Structure 1
Amino acid sequence: MNKLYVITGGPGVGKTTLLNALAADGVTIVTEVARAIIKEQLAAGGDALPWKNKARYTDLMLVASIRDYKRAVERQPKGIHFFDRSVVDAICYAEMIGYSISPSVVKEASACQYHPTIFILPPWREIYETDTERKQTWEEATYTYGQLKIVYQRYGYEIIDVPKGSVEKRKKFVNEIISSD
C-alpha cells in the first residue's frame, strides 16, 4: 500500500514540530511548500503572497505540491514519507479564496494519490501564534481546519484527528495508526 502520508491542519497547530519528531525516527519528510514560497517571495520582493497576489501564490503552491509529490513517488520504495500538507491543501486554499484552477491542473492534482488515511491536527489556541509568514487570525485558522476536512473527505480520504498533547504523545498516536497498515 501507498506509504505517502499527509499531516495537515490549519496554521499554527504543531504540524512542523510533529513532522520533525517523526523525521528524527528516520522517515522522510516532504516540507510544506506554502511557507517556502512565502520566504522566497519576501526575499525576492515578489507579490505571490497570500496577502498580495493570492492567485499567483496558489498557482505556485499547486506546481510545487505536484512536483514534491512526483519526487516522493520516485523515492517511495525507500519507505514512509510524511508530507507537511499536500496538493489537496492547495486545492482547498484555492476554493477558500474563490480561485478557479484550470482543468488541466485539477486533473494533474487529482492524480496525486496519497495514503487513504490523512492525519489532521485540530486548532489549538494555546500554541497558536503568528509570524512573518503566518498572518492568519485565529478565526481564519479554525475555518481552515474545517474546510480542509471537507475537501479531503470530498477527495475520498479518511480523516483522523490527531489529539492535542505533547509532541511525543502525538508521534506515538501517528505511529500506532501507521503500524496497523
Structure 2
Amino acid sequence: MQKKIVLIGGPGTGKTSVLNSLISRDFFCMEEISREVILKAKEEGIDQLFLTEPLLFSTMLLEGRENQYKIAEKTNHELVFFDRGIPDVHAYMNYFKTSYPPFFIEKCKKYKYDCIFHFSPWQEIHTTDNERYETFEQSVTIDKFLVEAYEELGYKIIDVPFGTVEKRTNFILNSLSCDL
C-alpha cells in the first residue's frame, strides 16, 4: 500500500533541500508548485499574484496539489513525498485572513496523507528570493498556521530536527522504516 508523505513548514525551513535529497536517492517526489504558479503569473504581467488575487492564486495551488495527489495515486511507488500538501493552501489563506469557499476544506478531507513531517523555522538557513519574499518572522507565524491546519484535520505531526540535509533526510527515512 502506498504511503503519501508531506513535508510542511514555513518558507525557508529546508523542505525543498530535503526533497531534492530524496529525489537524488531515487524516491518519487512531488515538488512545490507555488513557484510554478508565481512564475506563470509573472509571465502574464502579474508581479505578486498571491497579494493581488489571493483567492485565484490559492485556487490554482489547490488544483495543482490535488492533481499531484491524483498523479501519485496512479503510480506504483510505495512512498511518495510531497513538498507541501493540500491543507497548506487554506493555512496560508487563514494566515492572510482571506475567506475561501468550503471546498478548500472538503478537498483536505477527501485527499488524505499518511505521514506529516514538520520543518520548524530555522533562522540560520532562512533566505528570501524573487518567489519567497517572506521574512523569518513571517515564516514563524505562517508555520503556526500550517501546524494548526494539519492538527485540526487530525494529523499527527513529526518534527524534523535541525541538522544537515543528509541528517534530516535520514531522520525521515528512518522514521518511515518503523512503519513499513
- Change in CA separation of 1:48 and 1:65 when aligned onto 2, cut-off 3 Å: farther
Moved more, 97-106 or 156-165: 97-106
SS across alignment from 2:51: coil
Find the aligned partners of 2:134 and 2:7 in 1 and give their Cα distance. Answer: 19
Find the aligned partners of 1:100 and 1:149 in 2 and give their Cα distance. Answer: 19
Asked whether 1:132 is paired with 2:111, we answer no
- 2:90 is matched by which residue type in structure 1? I
The TM-score, its normalising length taken from structure 1, stands at: 0.93
Aligned to 1:100: 99
SS across alignment from 2:91: helix
Aligned to 1:73: 73
8 Å Cα contact 2:23/2:29 also seen in 1: yes
8 Å Cα contact 1:28/1:80 also seen in 2: yes
Aligned to 1:29: 29
8 Å Cα contact 1:2/1:114 also seen in 2: no
CA drift of 1:52 comes to: 2.1
8 Å Cα contact 1:48/1:57 also seen in 2: no
SS across alignment from 1:13: coil
8 Å Cα contact 2:69/2:111 also seen in 1: yes
Aligned to 2:51: 51
- 2:25 is matched by which residue type in structure 1? D
CA drift of 1:2 comes to: 4.2
- Change in CA separation of 1:48 and 1:62 when aligned onto 2, cut-off 3 Å: farther
- Change in CA separation of 1:48 and 1:64 when aligned onto 2, cut-off 3 Å: farther
Asked whether 1:109 is paired with 2:112, we answer no
- 2:46 is matched by which residue type in structure 1? G
User: CA offsets per residue over residues 96-136 of structure 1, 9 Å max, x none?
Assistant: 22233323343233201111x21011111011111000111
Aligned to 1:158: 156
The TM-score, its normalising length taken from structure 2, stands at: 0.93
8 Å Cα contact 2:90/2:104 also seen in 1: no
Q: How many residues align?
A: 179
CA drift of 1:33 comes to: 1.5
User: CA offsets per residue over residues 10-65 of structure 1, 9 Å max, x none?
Assistant: 00111111001011111111011212111111122136622322121111111111
8 Å Cα contact 1:6/1:119 also seen in 2: yes
Find the aligned partners of 1:160 and 1:44 in 2 and give their Cα distance. Answer: 39
Aligned to 1:41: 41
Find the aligned partners of 1:69 and 1:48 in 2 and give their Cα distance. Answer: 26
- 2:141 is matched by which residue type in structure 1? Y
**Percent of aligned positions with the same letter in both sequences?**
34
